[in-house]
Structure formats: structure tokens, C-alpha cells
């Protein structure tokens, strides 16, 4: 499988190069040159694979076509090391459960080390990095910014890998107590947690400025793990298929998916699975008050917001000012035309600040064909959804999951969506206790594996919002002899 940039400025690359590259040098995102085709017989066979070899076996079968320059033995080992009962609580890794006797199902993607779905892709990424860096006999420094879930998933996935160091910037005091504890209690010389006096966008800008220093980037082999990494999207395709297999019994049943969305990563993977031939009916996209994507799918206008116009909400992992992965979807929407994609994102968004496809005859047709229906969920909506699922079914969900479930239930009630709907559970309630207390009047249960986390000592450095201070601190940390 070869990978091309959505902006057409790169010669096609193999998977292992894309794994380590992150963003393409022409500013675009890497996508598979073609989507491998799935048929009913393959799906039938995979049902058996999931039953007999668990999620790890399915991951290997799905991914070996995409990751065909990783030796098969290595890939199989990576899948087994990433996806097992020790790390995810069961061999199914992402089990699906039915909400009462309704048509609504929850895919539990949050049973990993940091209690959010980010673990699903990140655990595999950690294994793949190790294999590939070893093969190339090199090392890398992951530098990234996080508003909460990505950072902790990355640190827990890279922990103990000899060839990877991680420096993670976080906005001081703006993550939940649980999220802070998950990162800052890590005590490892290869992991550096930094809090920045600022908001998430300030952290992101510092990361960009540091990557922008080409000499610094080369000297320290800076690499990225953010959601634009193609390997993360591919790893996420696996659980769309795994969830579908658990809800159906034949090869052709159509199922809808409801996905709470920020950077358009998780939902993009369902789109890819559909393009491969997975029988997906409606793709329900839920946003919070930062509803750039709901606006795009309703009107054809994509307009990223400024940091000042980005609301801090009670589903903070979806508080985005732009949707980084949308470019991959729009590339498909415009018939995989790199010139067009480059014009829309490279020229129009970068220049005017938006693009408008409302007059494009292809936009409506493709939106229909791709089956996306988008909706917005507010704080009041998510609190009401958490409360109602708890009272009616004894099922407790986190605020992000509630955004997806709320929008799905609205569409199911109006009859716009019929048949089974798989809603993604993207985090466990324990990560967002304050909103849970507001919704049900009591704190969420703390899973046993997180007991004691709140009392452990922190290892974190406070720095000002200043790129030179950051760079000299990184330099000193990276050049410190290992203890």
C-alpha cells in the first residue's frame, strides 16, 4: 500500500515512512492511495477471527494490507502486544453492549490504560514506533500539546520504549484533576510533562514554533503523535469493524454509527471502513458547542474559529478551533482531487479563513452518498443524556459519549435514523467527575486500577508561554545523561 498527500505535492510513500513523518511536507495529510475492498465473505471470515483470535487477531488481518512494509511477524507481534486482556481488560478489547432492549449499542473503547479511546490507536503506535526505530537504528523525541486525553494516552503508550522520549505541553490548570494526575504522576526520565501558562492553543503554537526551527527539529529528531498521523486513523478502522461484527450476525446488515467529534479522527475511520465496504448506514456526527463540523455538513461552509471564539465546554476533548482530519474526508468528497483539496485548505482556508462548497453540485450528492448527518449537543443536552441513561438503564456515560448518544437518540426518535446504532464510548466517566456529579448527584466510581492516583506525587515543570525558554529547557532535558 502506498500513501499520497491530500495536496498532491509528494511522491507516494510506504507505510513506515508515513508512520514516522506525521504531516506531509507539502502541508497535506497522507492517505492510502486506494481503499482495499472488503466483501461479505471477508467479513464472515473476520467474525471467526474476532471470536477465535480476539481483537489482536482482527487488527492484524485488517491492518496487514495497509501496513505491508512492516514484516508480518513484527506486525502480528505488535498487535498482540498492543491489544490484550492485560491492557484492555478483555481479549475483545472493545466490547459492545446493548442499552436495554433499544436499538442503541455502546462500543466500549475506553478500557485502556488512560480510560479514553485514544489508547486504542496509541498503544499500537507505541509498538510500531519501537519496531521501526529499531529497524532504522535511530530514535525520536515526541513533542506534542494536549488538552487532556491524547497526551496521557501517548505517554502511557511510549513509557519504557528505549528509542522514544516524550515531551508534552499542557495548559496549566485547564485539565480535569484526573487527567492531570494521569500525566503528572508519571516518574520516568524519558517523559517530560510541561505546563504552560496559557490555553491549549498557546501550547499548540509553541509546538509549531519548535517544529518550525528546522535545525532543532533535526538535531533532536522531533516527531508527532497527533491525530493527523495516518497510522492512528488506520488503527481506528479496526474497531469500527469489530463493533459492526459484534452487533450483526450476517454479512450485509447495515448499522449506523454515532461518534462525538473534535478533530474528525475517530469518525474519519468509520468513513474509511465504509469506503472499504463495511455496511454502514448513517454516520452520525456529534459536536459540542464548538460546532464547526455541524455547520460544515449543514451548509458546505467550513470556517475554523479563532482561539477566542472557541468555547471551553464540559466535553473539553471536542473543544477544537479547527478539525485537522477533515481534509482527508474532503479529499474523498471532491473525488480525491489533490489540486482541489490544496486550493480549499492550502489557499482558501489559509487565506480567506474559510471555504464554501454550498454551490458545488458534488457536495450534496457526496454528502448523501457518504451518509453523514451532523448534530450539535450543548451542556444541557449532555447533562440530560447522562441523567436519562443512568436513571432508565443504570448505564453511566461520560460527557463526550453523551454528546454522541444525545444526537443519536434525537435522530432515532424523529425516525431519521432507523435500525441499530453503535455509539462510541470515547472516555470513562471517572475522567470528568464534575459533570457527572452535576448530572446524577454523585461522583463516578473510580475503577480499581486508578486507586491511589489522586495521592501520588507530581513530576511536572511550569514554564512561561515563551518558545526560547521552552527550547532551552528541552535541550537541557534531552542532553542530560540518563540516570
Residue numbers annotated as active site:
118
Q: Which of 49, 237 has the CB closer to ligand PLP?
A: 237
The distance in angstroms from the start CA to the end CA of the chain is 41
- The cell numbers describing 324, all together, are 485537522
Measured from the CB atom, is 282 or 315 closer to ligand PLP? 315
3-state class (DSSP) for residue 284? strand
- Indicate the residue among 146 and 282 with the shorter CB distance to ligand PLP: 146
Q: Residue 152 CB, nearest distance to ligand PLP (Å)?
A: 10
Provide the 3-class DSSP secondary structure of residue 419. Answer: coil
The residue among 357 and 428 lying less far from ligand PLP, judged by its C-beta, is: 428
By the 8 A CB rule, do 202 and 196 touch?
Answer: yes
* Radius of gyration over every alpha carbon of the chain, rounded to an integer in angstroms: 21
Comparison of 18 and 428: residue with beta carbon closer to ligand PLP: 428
Report the alpha-carbon angle 114-117-119, nearest 5.
Answer: 50
**DSSP conformation letters of 312-334:** --SSGGG--SS-TTHHHHHHHHT
Sequence-separated (6 or more) residues with CB below 8 Å from residue 310:
201, 290, 319, 320, 321
How does DSSP classify residue 221?
T
Structural contact between residues 269 and 42, judged by C-beta atoms closer than 8 angstroms: no
Least Cβ distance, residue 353 to ligand PLP (angstroms) = 21
Footprint of ligand PLP on this chain (CB under 6 A)? 116, 118, 149, 227, 260-267, 317-318, 400, 426-427
Looking from the CA of 438 toward its CB, the CA atoms found within 13 Å total: 14
- Strands, E assignment, 47-139: 96-98, 104-108
Q: How far is the CB of 154 from ligand PLP (least distance, A)?
A: 12
Kindly tell me which of 318 and 439 has the beta carbon lying closer to ligand PLP.
318
Q: How far is the CB of 42 from ligand PLP (least distance, A)?
A: 26
- The three-point CA angle 234-237-241 to 5° equals 155
Nearest to 473 by CA among 194, 218, 162: 194
The three cell numbers of residue 115 are 480510560
Distances 465 to 143, 167, 252, 307, 458 between C-alpha atoms, Å? 16, 15, 53, 15, 21
Closest alpha carbon to 279 in 43, 16, 21, 28: 43
**387 CB contacts (<8 Å, ≥6 apart)?**
439, 440
Nearest distance from residue 127's CB to ligand PLP, in Å?
Answer: 20
Amino acid at each position: 500500500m502506498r500513501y499520497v498527500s491530500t495536496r498532491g505535492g509528494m511522491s507516494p510513500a510506504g507505510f513506515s515512512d508515513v508512520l514516522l513523518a506525521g504531516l506531509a511536507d507539502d502541508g497535506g495529510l497522507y492517505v492510502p492511495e486506494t481503499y482495499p475492498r472488503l466483501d461479505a465473505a471477508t467479513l464472515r471470515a473476520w467474525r471467526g477471527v474476532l471470536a477465535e483470535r480476539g481483537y489482536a487477531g482482527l487488527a492484524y488481518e485488517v491492518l496487514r494490507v495497509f501496513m505491508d512494509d512492516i514484516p508480518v511477524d513484527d506486525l502480528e507481534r505488535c498487535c498482540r502486544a498492543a491489544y490484550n486482556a492485560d491492557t484492555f481488560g478483555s481479549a475483545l478489547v472493545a466490547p459492545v453492549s446493548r442499552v436495554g432492549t433499544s436499538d442503541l449499542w455502546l462500543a466500549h473503547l475506553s478500557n485502556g490504560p488512560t480510560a479514553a479511546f485514544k489508547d486504542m490507536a496509541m498503544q499500537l503506535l507505541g509498538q510500531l514506533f519501537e519496531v521501526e526505530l529499531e529497524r532504522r537504528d535511530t530514535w525520536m523525541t515526541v513533542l506534542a500539546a494536549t488538552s487532556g486525553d491524547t497526551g496521557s494516552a501517548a505517554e502511557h503508550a511510549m513509557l519504557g520504549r528505549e528509542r522514544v522520549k516524550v515531551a508534552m505541553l499542557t495548559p496549566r490548570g485547564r485539565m480535569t484533576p484526573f487527567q492531570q494526575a494521569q500525566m503528572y504522576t508519571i516518574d520516568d526520565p524519558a517523559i517530560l510533562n510541561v505546563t504552560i501558562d496559557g490555553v491549549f492553543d498557546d501550547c499548540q503554537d509553541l509546538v509549531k514554533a519548535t517544529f518550525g526551527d528546522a535545525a532543532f527539529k533535526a538535531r533532536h529528531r522531533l516527531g508527532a503523535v497527533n491525530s493527523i498521523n495516518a497510522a492512528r486513523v488506520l488503527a481506528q478502522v479496526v474497531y469500527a469493524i469489530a463493533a459492526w461484527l459484534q452487533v450483526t450476525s450476517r454479512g450485509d446488515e447495515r448499522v449506523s454509527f454515532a461518534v462525538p467529534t473534535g478533530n474528525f479522527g475517530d469518525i474519519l475511520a468509520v468513513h474509511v471502513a465504509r469506503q472499504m465496504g463495511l455496511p454502514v448506514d448513517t454516520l452520525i456526527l456529534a459536536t459540542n458547542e464548538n460546532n464547526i463540523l455541524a455547520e460544515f455538513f449543514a451548509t458546505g461552509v467550513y470556517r475554523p474559529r479563532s482561539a477566542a471564539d472557541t468555547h471551553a465546554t464540559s466535553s473539553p476533548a471536542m473543544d477544537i478551533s479547527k478539525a485537522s482530519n477533515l481534509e482527508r474526508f474532503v479529499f474523498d468528497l471532491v473525488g480525491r482531487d489533490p489540486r482541489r483539496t490544496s486550493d480549499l485548505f492550502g489557499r482558501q482556508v489559509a487565506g480567506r479563513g474559510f471555504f464554501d462548497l454550498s454551490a458545488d453540485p458534488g457536495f450534496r450528492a457526496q454528502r448523501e452518498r457518504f451518509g453523514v448527518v451532523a448534530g450539535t449537543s450543548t451542556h444541557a443536552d449532555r447533562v440530560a443524556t447522562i441523567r436519562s441513561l443512568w436513571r432508565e438503564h443504570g448505564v453511566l456515560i461520560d460527557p463526550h459519549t453523551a454528546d454522541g448518544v444525545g444526537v443519536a437518540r434525537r435522530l432515532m426518535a424523529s425516525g431519521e435514523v432507523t435500525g441499530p446504532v453503535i455509539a462510541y464510548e470515547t472516555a470513562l466517566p471517572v475522567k470528568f467527575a464534575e459533570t457527572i456529579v452535576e448530572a446524577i448527584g454523585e461522583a463516578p466510581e473510580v475503577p480499581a486500577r486508578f486507586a491511589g492516583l489522586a495521592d501520588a506525587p507530581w513530576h511536572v515543570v511550569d514554564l512561561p508561554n515563551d518558545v526560547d525558554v521552552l527550547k532551552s529547557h528541552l535541550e537541557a532535558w534531552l542532553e542530560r545523561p540518563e540516570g
